[in-house]
């Protein structure tokens, strides 16, 4: 229980207040506070859109779960070994290849508007994989094996292009729609008023029910701007 019994605000995206979230992070691989973790870790290369790639690590026992969680459109594992070797590889590759270890949610969403064909996605990731040299001796290199999540997320054959996004959830509001696609925490809903984007982290703690016929979403929204480099549809 939260020692301050803090109330989560309408825009909260975690089931913890800020203070509890900070304490929770004290036992986190991402915060480098678990250097003695004996589990093997996998280094991966992930693709989110043209020119939008990252390098990251995940516990080997989790398989591709971490990649699904962060909405990687496609990915390949690169190597496997002890945590600190994986962490050093993540840092050195990021510097050598000029790619980050994090990609913002906004950049991922924009890239989904117009994903290139699967063959182009695979080619860009393959080129990145082949550019990697000089892994630490303690890290076993894994063969290139592309995993593509576009169909799993519902981004094919046509990607969802919502007109608006939910900005907050508070008592007395509701969201009604049919899930068309789901990528990471983003849910793309079909509603009578058009496509709607819902960050499912906002839903934590709220009840889910079958709506009565006819109700519309009453939660506050904001327009979703069309990325500048996405062409207008012909029809």
Share of the chain above pLDDT 90, in %: 61
pLDDT tens-place string over residues 87-135: 999 999 998 889 999 999 999 999 999 999 999 999 999 999 999 988 8
Q: Which residues of 29-56 are buried (b: 16+ CB within 10 A; e: fewer)?
A: beeeeeeeeeebbbbbbbbbbeebbbbb
| Better-scored residue on pLDDT, 173 or 116 | 116
Identify the bridge partners of residue 147 per DSSP, sorted by sequence position: 75
Q: Is the pLDDT of residue 27 over 60?
A: no
How far is the C-alpha of 136 from the C-alpha of 147, rounded, in Å?
24
Identify the bridge partners of residue 43 per DSSP, sorted by sequence position: 57, 79
Identify the bridge partners of residue 79 per DSSP, sorted by sequence position: 43, 141
pTM of the shown model? 0.85
Under DSSP, the state recorded for 140 is E
How far is the C-alpha of 210 from the C-alpha of 208, rounded, in Å?
7
Q: Confidence band (pLDDT; 50, 70, 90) for 210?
A: confident
Q: Is the pLDDT of residue 10 over 90?
A: no
How far is the C-alpha of 73 from the C-alpha of 67, rounded, in Å?
8
Q: Is the pLDDT of residue 195 over 70?
A: yes
Cα-to-chain-centroid distance, residue 133: 27
How far is the C-alpha of 230 from the C-alpha of 113, rounded, in Å?
7
- CA torsion sign for 68, 71, 73, 77 is negative
CB 191 within 8 A of CB 177: yes
Under DSSP, the state recorded for 203 is G
pLDDT tens-place string over residues 37-63: 789 999 999 999 999 999 999 999 999
């Amino acid at each position: 229980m939260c020692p301050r019994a803090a109330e989560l605000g309408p825009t909260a995206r975690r089931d913890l207040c800020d203070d509890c979230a900070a304490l929770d992070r004290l036992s986190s691989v991402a915060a480098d506070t678990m250097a003695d973790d004996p589990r093997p870790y996998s280094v991966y290369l992930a693709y989110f859109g043209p020119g939008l790639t990252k390098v990251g690590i995940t516990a080997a026992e989790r398989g591709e779960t971490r990649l699904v969680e962060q909405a990687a459109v496609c990915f390949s594992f690169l190597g496997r070994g002890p945590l600190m070797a994986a962490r050093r590889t993540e840092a050195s590759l990021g510097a050598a290849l000029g790619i980050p270890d994090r990609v913002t949610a906004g950049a991922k969403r924009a890239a989904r508007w117009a994903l290139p064909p699967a063959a182009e996605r695979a080619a860009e990731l393959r080129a990145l994989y082949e550019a990697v040299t000089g892994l630490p001796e303690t890290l076993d290199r894994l063969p290139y094996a592309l995993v593509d999540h576009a169909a799993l997320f519902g981004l094919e054959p046509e990607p969802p292009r919502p007109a608006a996004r939910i900005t907050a959830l508070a008592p007395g509001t509701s969201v009604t729609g049919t899930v068309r696609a789901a990528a990471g925490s983003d849910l793309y809903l079909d509603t009578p008023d058009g496509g709607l984007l819902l960050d499912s982290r906002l839903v934590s703690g709220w009840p889910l029910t079958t709506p009565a016929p006819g109700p519309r979403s009453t939660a506050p929204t904001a327009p979703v701007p069309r990325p500048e480099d996405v062409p207008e549809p012909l029809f």
